Amino acid sequence: MSKNFDAIIIGAGVMGTSIAFHLTERGMKPLILERRQVGYGATGSSSGLVRMHYDLEVESHLAWESFQYFRNWRERVGGECGFTRTGFLHIEPEKHASQLRANVEMQKKLGIPTEVISGDDVKRLAASFHTDDISIAAYEPESGYADATLTANSFLTAAKVHGAEFMQDCGVTGLQVSAGKITGVKTAGAEFSAPVVINAAGAWAGSVSEMAGVKIPLDTWTHDVVHVRRPAAVGDHPTVIDSSLGMYFRPDSGGLTLIALEDDSRIGEAPDAEPGYVAKDFVERSIERICMRIPAMEQGSLHSSHVGRDGLTPDQRAIIGAAGPQGFYLVTGFSGTGFKLSPAIGLCVSELVMDGAAKSIDITGFDPARFERGEYLKGEHDYGFIWRNSLS
């Protein structure tokens, strides 16, 4: 006989664990099933940037709601999320100046502490930066980065304290549907029943959806990251998305700087393909670019590099909502930017499941069926795709 739960969550990344935390806060007793270990997927390799600057209003709103958790983590969730305030700079080329101003205005209306600044202001904030090519940037003094693995573990711990059950090394191999309703899941060793099943399986969510007869346009995005030792001459620096040079970077503990490129990701690798090593010339290209922004980095040295993989959608925005049999929900396709949204996504998905709609923030735009209707999510003052080589 299969054991009954209020809900089953497939995947223990930041999304699955955040959903579990929020469901248990409202009295539900979910089961979280993870084929490997907590944070095995994108979560475990996330760069962890925590900022509110997006060109799509709902993403800024979700990031701002999530920020209330990150900056008050112990009281709100318990445990640690590793949030480190560094200040955040979003540098855009001059041709995007009007979009950047409009997006900062949109974010200010949401209550986000942010301002438009000049290249000279950037120099004052980050003395080691070469700023001759910067005419405009957005600055968020409160933002920074956090640790996605700690975040997922804290969510999971708190969910378990409130009655959730967790099984690792327990992959879902099939879904059970009866009379158009989801009734449970199958794993290699057991079956579990629930009237609600949430697919939070990251880059693997496409194959999990197919178990319910639901097809989603989910590709994979494989992303390289490098850590370098920062020379003393560079000193501290903020967290930065530098769209002028096509990279992002942030400080890390131990005097390191994490760097990744916007034009380096590999699209369409099999979700289970061994991530292996970073692309052949990635480290050289990253170091070349960081030295263009911070010339003193020439004295730095290579520390390490790693690779991670997330699910990618055609508009590089998430898929969130009900799909297929009644009781089946998709929470996936975070396209390399989901970590900082995870607290608010968990909150909104718990409302969707328990109240029939998210009340805190309207997430209907992430409707899984939008692609069938030929609708792509796009910011009102958009900068184009984030991951530039993934245009299809």
Ligand X SMILES: Cc1cc2nc3c(=O)[nH]c(=O)nc-3n(C[C@H](O)[C@H](O)[C@H](O)COP(=O)(O)OP(=O)(O)OC[C@H]3O[C@@H](n4cnc5c(N)ncnc54)[C@H](O)[C@@H]3O)c2cc1C
Phi, psi dihedrals of residue 336, rounded to the nearest 5°: 80, 10
* 387 scored as a contact of ligand X (CB under 6 A): no
Considering only the stretches 126-134, 337-345, 355-363, 380-388, report the one whose residues sit in contact with ligand X under the rule CB under 6 A: 337-345
Tell me the three state secondary structure of residue 284.
helix
Q: Is the dihedral of CA 378, 379, 381, 383 positive or negative?
A: negative
Stretch that binds ligand X, among 9-17, 91-99, 125-133, 295-303 (CB under 6 A): 9-17
When the beta carbons of 203 and 297 are compared against ligand X, the nearer one is 203
Report, in angstroms and rounded to the nearest whole number, the Rg of the chain calculated over CA atoms: 21
Interface size with ligand X, residues (CB under 6 A): 41
Q: Is 36 an interacting residue with respect to ligand X (CB under 6 A)? A: yes
- Is the Cβ of residue 35 or residue 230 nearer to ligand X in the bound state? 35
Beta bridge mates, 197: 8, 328
Which of 28, 104, 138, 225 touches ligand X by CB under 6 A?
225
Q: Which secondary-structure segment (H or E) carries 102?
A: helix 97-109
- Kindly state whether residue 337 participates in binding ligand X, applying the rule CB under 6 A: yes
Rounded Cα distance, 112 and 67, in Å = 10
Residue 43 lies near ligand X (rule: CB under 6 A):
yes
Q: Is 42 in the site for ligand X (CB under 6 A)?
A: yes
Please give the backbone phi and psi of residue 128, each rounded to the nearest 5 degrees, phi first.
Answer: -80, -5
Run of H or E including 239: strand 239-242
Distance CA 108, CA 104 (A): 6
Distance CA 266, CA 207 (A): 20
Report the residue from 49, 134, 156, 158 that binds ligand X according to the rule CB under 6 A.
49
Q: What's the closest the beta carbon of residue 309 comes to ligand X, in angstroms?
A: 6
Structure tokens at 132: 């001759």
Site string for ligand X, 156-175 (x = CB under 6 A): ---------------xx---
In whole angstroms, the minimum distance from the beta carbon of 289 to ligand X comes to 17
Cα-Cα-Cα-Cα dihedral sign, residues 67, 69, 70, 72: positive
User: Which one, 131 or 198, has the nearer CB to ligand X?
Assistant: 198
Q: Which residues bind ligand X (CB under 6 A)?
A: 10-16, 33-36, 40-43, 45-49, 148, 171-172, 200-204, 208, 223, 225, 308-310, 332, 334, 336-340
